[in-house]
Structure 1
Amino acid sequence: MTPQKPAGSAAPRRGGRPTREQASRLDEAVREAALELFLEHGYEGTSMNAIAAAAGTTKPSLYARFPAKEDVFRSVLGWAVQRADWPVPEPEDPDLDDLHGALVAIAQAALTRALDPRMIKLEQIAIAHASRYPELARRTYGTGFWPRRKLVADLLRRHAATGAIQADDPEILAEHFLGMATGAPSRLASFGILRTADDQERHTAMAVEIFLRSLRPDAPSDAP
């Protein structure tokens, strides 16, 4: 009985260079397979042989696309953290007319992504190899951060325009909000420290409340 190839593997050609579509499918299959292997066995415990086998390709074909395991690792982490469907699908943007509700929804979406066991494991791998691949560690640590910062900044501009809040520098304020609401839980999770759902909900609610207080037009300012 002929074994079936994995769904993501590229169909072979009879000699010659693969087409662009076949090369793209092979890259996708390699990343999918390598991601699962890295998460399960770590970087050191994953071999190029295992990646090739899991991707349904040959070792020569794999090396033709990725000369070393380091290249696979770089490609996989960069690809994984930019996906909107991994480890969980990103939700639709919240109702931006509801400032409080939108902030809560954005924080919860960020936490759902950051505290997913697969994302925690990915961040742990990135941290473990931070000295070797510093750019990957920075990119992984900020997973979902920069697009969400823009969303929060746009939200603040929207409500500042009505006079409901004071937000002189929305980009910096957005960064502070995300750091307060999701930075600490994510960092704790990378060390295996997870809050209960109820405890995390209280922390999120408090972060939103403190942040909103600072945006009130009549809030005290330290500016001269």
Structure 2
Amino acid sequence: MTKTGIKALERTIRRGGGGRPTREEAEARDVRLLDVATRLFMERGFDGTSIDAVAEAAGISKPTVYARYHDKRDLFAAVLRGRIRRWFAPVSAAAEAQATETSPKSIKTTLHELSRHMVAYTLAPDAGALQRILSAQAVQFPELAKLANEEGWLRAVRSVSTILRQSAARGHIKVDDPELAADMFLNLVLGHGKRLTLYGIPTDPKTEERHRKAAVDFFLSGIRAK
């Protein structure tokens, strides 16, 4: 028997002969499903994407999709959470570094690195498509906008406020209200790019980089970073 046949037999034995996927296979299937759903939602929008189309493109049966997600809104919410996790990961890592490292990066370096990541993500075509879907579905499905705000924006505000608070505790900056300052920082850095991508307006990378640097430097001057 070939190695491929042996592996197939081993999978069958692990499934108990009933066709039930192993845990690894189920996880790989879910990843594939979300990858395909993300691509279709970004390409076709919310209304132009169906569970049927996602199932067919992913090579997964409709009952399997519905066993995992109640409806299209539930599937899109999972896609949205995945995109938020990707956007939020560097913010969380920077906050953890400020809290745990004995010699963390300067607040200037930290905020410039964070803003560079955030702006690049915000200006990506799929980020603009995601924003437009959320805006279009805000009336019918307000819980999606709420999810984006609570799990995305507000979590980012809390993490950036933690970075500012840690820096202030070390005497590197002076900030009276870290959460308010964090919200201002995010609006300064991301506001321009979000408006452009929301309306599908082409952006010039050099112009956006100048805007990003100026926004961060303006913010740093307000908290008197050393």
Pairwise same-fold verdict (TM > 0.5): yes
Q: 1:29 to 1:210 in 2, by over 3 A?
A: same
Deviations 1:94-128 (A, max 9, x none): 88432222221111111111111111111111111
Q: Aligned match of 1:82 in 82, 85, 94?
A: 85
1:50 correspondence with 2:58 = no
Amino acid at match of 1:216: R
**For residues 175-190 of structure 1, what are the structure 2 equivalents within 5 Å?**
175-190=183-198
The structure whose residues are more often helix, as a share, is 2
Provide the TM-score with structure 2 as the length reference.
Answer: 0.74
1:117 correspondence with 2:125 = yes
Amino acid at match of 1:186: K
Deviations 1:109-159 (A, max 9, x none): 111111111111111111111112222224346775445434432332233
Q: d(CA) in 2 for partners of 1:76 and 1:97?
A: 33
Q: Aligned match of 1:101 in 106, 109, 113?
A: 109
Q: d(CA) in 2 for partners of 1:17 and 1:196?
A: 50
Deviations 1:74-101 (A, max 9, x none): 332233322369xxx8596488432222
**Runs of 5+ in structure 2 lacking a partner?**
1-10, 98-102
Q: d(CA) in 1 for partners of 2:73 and 2:152?
A: 23
Secondary structure at 2:60's aligned position in 1? coil
Q: d(CA) in 2 for partners of 1:192 and 1:90?
A: 26
1:129 correspondence with 2:117 = no
Q: d(CA) in 2 for partners of 1:44 and 1:151?
A: 34
Q: d(CA) in 2 for partners of 1:177 and 1:139?
A: 21
Query: Retained in 1: the 8 A contact 2:87–2:121?
Result: no
Amino acid at match of 1:99: I
**Runs of 5+ in structure 1 lacking a partner?**
1-10, 218-224
Query: Retained in 2: the 8 A contact 1:166–1:216?
Result: yes
Of the structure 1 ranges 172-181 and 47-56, higher mean CA displacement relative to structure 2 is found in 47-56
Equivalent residue number for residue 37 of structure 1 = 40
Instruction: Give the 4+ runs in structure 1 shifted more than 6 A.
Output: none
Of the structure 1 ranges 114-123 and 157-166, higher mean CA displacement relative to structure 2 is found in 157-166
Query: Retained in 1: the 8 A contact 2:87–2:118?
Result: no
Query: Retained in 2: the 8 A contact 1:81–1:139?
Result: no
Amino acid at match of 2:199: F
Q: d(CA) in 1 for partners of 2:161 and 2:122?
A: 20
Query: Retained in 2: the 8 A contact 1:110–1:144?
Result: no
Query: Retained in 1: the 8 A contact 2:174–2:224?
Result: yes
Equivalent residue number for residue 214 of structure 2 = 206
Query: Retained in 1: the 8 A contact 2:90–2:114?
Result: no
How far the C-alpha of 1:68 sits from its partner, in A, is: 2.7
